[in-house]
Amino acid sequence: MAVAIITGASKGLGRALAVALAREGWDLVLDARTASVLEESARRARAHGTRVVALPGDVADGWHRAALVAAARELGGLDLLVSNASALGAEPLVRLDALPLEGLRVALETNVVAALGLVQEALPLLRASASGAVMALSSDAAVEAYETWGGYGASKAALDRLAAVLAVEEPGLRVWAVDPGDMRTDLYRAAVPLDDDAGRPSPESVVPAFLRLLAERPASGRFTAPALLGVGA
């Protein structure tokens, strides 16, 4: 049975992807900071008959990252690592002249440093898998200059670069940076609370793009969900 670790799995895209993978027969290790909400994601995934370990904690903590990998090892190994946990740096987002430096540090720690730390912890298991893969959740803010998105965008640009270098250094793995595009999530509402997100796609509508990557296993690189789904083609 294939095993995946998904960070930031308590809601939004993380929860949607967890349920979809469980439906496909994957065993899961799920992470998020809020235990009660994370357990709801685990309950929905377990409804599909797979083994699910829910470990509340902060991916910025090394002991927690080690516990996630240890849980995957207990399930039999690790075939997929999804770095989905994200921090904005400021809620709501602000211009760079007002961005708290501590907020920027938090965004970089969560979105970049912790993501690399988890990869480092998980590499022995990923290398041992016949289909080891890493998905790093990116953003269009990593490649486009949007007012107020500077700190968050910088962290995602750094994550993209780590993913690209990891792909070169670990040719036996698939390493995909994936920009899911606009979605109707709590993260977006926290970032821009005055924006009407009613017309934005749900996280569930984006999940097929991730499943396509897993099914077709293209070469490592950066992908956007709209392109994978053929939107606008």
SS (H, E, C) the chain: CCEEEECCCCCHHHHHHHHHHHHCCCEEEEEECCHHHHHHHHHHHHCCCCCEEEEECCCCCHHHHHHHHHHHHHHCCCCEEEECCCCCCCCCCCCHHHCCHHHHHHHHHHHHHHHHHHHHHHHHHHHHCCCCEEEEECCHHHCCCCCCCHHHHHHHHHHHHHHHHHHHHCCCCEEEEEECCCCCCHHHHHHCCCCCCCCCCCHHHHHHHHHHHHHHCCCCEEEEHHHHCCCCC
Q: Indicate whether 163 belongs to any domain.
A: yes
Mean pLDDT of the chain: 96
Q: Indicate whether 67 belongs to any domain.
A: yes
Residue 153's domain spans which residues?
3-228
Q: Indicate whether 233 belongs to any domain.
A: no
Task: Say yes or no to pLDDT of 233 above 70.
Answer: no
Q: Indicate whether 145 belongs to any domain.
A: yes
Query: For residues 213 and 207, what is the distance between their CA atoms, to the nearest angstrom?
Result: 10
Proportion of the chain above pLDDT 90, given as a percent: 89
- What integer pLDDT is reported at residue 231 of this predicted model? 72
- What integer pLDDT is reported at residue 186 of this predicted model? 84
Mean pLDDT of 167-184: 96
Mean pLDDT of 178-193: 89
Domain count, the chain: 1
Q: Indicate whether 210 belongs to any domain.
A: yes
- What integer pLDDT is reported at residue 213 of this predicted model? 98
Q: Indicate whether 159 belongs to any domain.
A: yes
Q: Which residue has the higher pLDDT, 190 or 95?
A: 95
- What integer pLDDT is reported at residue 232 of this predicted model? 54
State yes or no: is 152 an active-site residue: yes
Mean pLDDT of 4-8: 98
Q: Indicate whether 81 belongs to any domain.
A: yes
Confidence band for 85, pLDDT divided at 50, 70 and 90: very high
Proportion of the chain above pLDDT 70, given as a percent: 99
- What integer pLDDT is reported at residue 184 of this predicted model? 87
Task: Say yes or no to pLDDT of 150 above 80.
Answer: yes
For the CA atoms of 48, 215, 53, 44, what is the dihedral angle to 10 degrees? -30
Task: Say yes or no to pLDDT of 83 above 70.
Answer: yes
108: domain CATH number?
3.40.50.720
Catalytic pick among 2, 13, 135, 152: 152
Mean pLDDT of 188-204: 85
Most confident of 171-175, 182-186, 196-200: 171-175
Mean pLDDT of 202-226: 97
